[in-house]
Amino acid sequence: MTGRPTLASSLRAIYSLRAAVTKPVYWWYERRLRRKVREGGKLPQHLGLILDGNRRFAKAAGVQREIGYEFGIDKAHEVLQWCLELGIPAVTIWVLSTDNVARDPEEVAHLMKLFDREARNLAQDPRIHGNRVRVRAIGQHHGFPAHVLDALKQLEAATASYDGMLLNIAVGYGGREEIVDAVKVYLEHQQEAGATLQQAAAALRPDDISARTYTAGTPEVDFIIRTSGEIRMSGFMLWQSVYSEFYFCDVYWPGFRWVDFLRALRDFQGRKRRFGK
């Protein structure tokens, strides 16, 4: 016996119906745009995604913010599939900032439950294993509930040997905190090697920081997309984004469509990157 449909499932049905109605309008355009993107050749080697607008999406729909987060999770799974289809080698998604951790405790507790659930789901997701996706959780996780830490560790362990796409999940992440952590690790290594503070400072080079960031070993992020219409970085990958290209999309994250993604990639392909030269 099935129970009554939840508000979230009812809204999903409404959006599915809306997508079915508008599909004929977008089908030709999407097909043409997809062909252009595939023929354009140049795709990001490391894509950064700032998943912004879940709460505002919920507010605009007149539903609880928790439902906005549920839709945001659905969209993250969908966009992961798009990245796999296009063969993008590395993706970093920002799902929780260090600032977000200071929000309403009830909201943060709900988010922690979602992270626990989704980490365990990803650890068993056939797409992850079939495509050999390596997943890492990056950020500062002290203060996270033990069950969330356990779920994240299990997910990383289950995919640690994979050599397909690298998926970084930035949770409890802040760009300033990342740089501070990298400097701390550098200084600790210098101390272990017997160097004085003056010697460590004199020897410090940008590569020493790069080698100790959370994403060390990954190509620097070359394209960053932020949804929701906000035109700012909010501390996302401050060190790695020095030569990144940026794209700001007006749509809230749960409403981000395949055609929006293709437009962003097409825009990236049309840019001439100069790397400060």
Domain boundaries, the chain: 43-174+222-269
Topology adopted by domain 43-174+222-269:
Undecaprenyl pyrophosphate synthetase (3.40.1180)
Read off the pLDDT of residues 91-131 as tens digits, 9 standing for 90 and up.
999 999 999 998 899 999 999 999 999 999 999 999 999 99
Q: Which of 74, 100, 208, 260 is catalytic?
A: 100
What are 46's strand-pairing partners? 90
Is 233 annotated as ligand-binding?
yes
Q: Residue 4 pLDDT > 70, yes or no?
A: no
Q: Is 134 known to sit in a ligand binding site?
A: no
Residue 183 has pLDDT above 50, yes or no: yes
Query: What's the pLDDT band for 9 if we cut at 50, 70, 90?
Result: low
Catalytic-labelled residue, pool 52, 116, 125, 222: 52
Digit-coded pLDDT (tens) for 206-221 = 999 999 999 999 999 9
Q: Residue 19 has what pLDDT?
A: 58
Annotated binding residue at 55?
yes
The 3-state secondary structure of the chain reads: CCCCCCHHHHHHHHHHHHHHHHHHHHHHHHHHHHHHHHHHCCCCCEEEEECCCHHHHHHHHCCCHHHHHHHHHHHHHHHHHHHHHHCCCEEEEEEEECCHHHCCHHHHHHHHHHHHHHHHHHHCCHHHHHCCCEEEEECCCCCCCHHHHHHHHHHHHHHCCCCCCEEEEEEEECHHHHHHHHHHHHHHHHHHCCCCHHHHHHHCCHHHHHCCCCCCCCCCCCEEEECCCCCCCCCCCCCCCCCCEEEECCCCHHHCCHHHHHHHHHHHHCCCCCCCC
Is residue 125 annotated as a catalytic residue, yes or no? no
Is 35 annotated as a binding-site member?
Answer: no
Predicted confidence at residue 1, as pLDDT, reads: 38
pLDDT for 35 equals 85
55 pLDDT above the threshold of 60: yes
Is 121 assigned a ligand-binding role in the annotation? no
150 is in an annotated binding site: no
Q: What is the mean pLDDT of the chain?
A: 91
What's the whole-model pTM score? 0.88
pLDDT for the residue 10: 59
For residue range 13-47, list pLDDT tens digits in order: 555 655 555 556 667 788 888 888 988 779 999 99
Any binding-site annotation on 97?
Answer: yes
Q: Say whether 121 is catalytic.
A: no
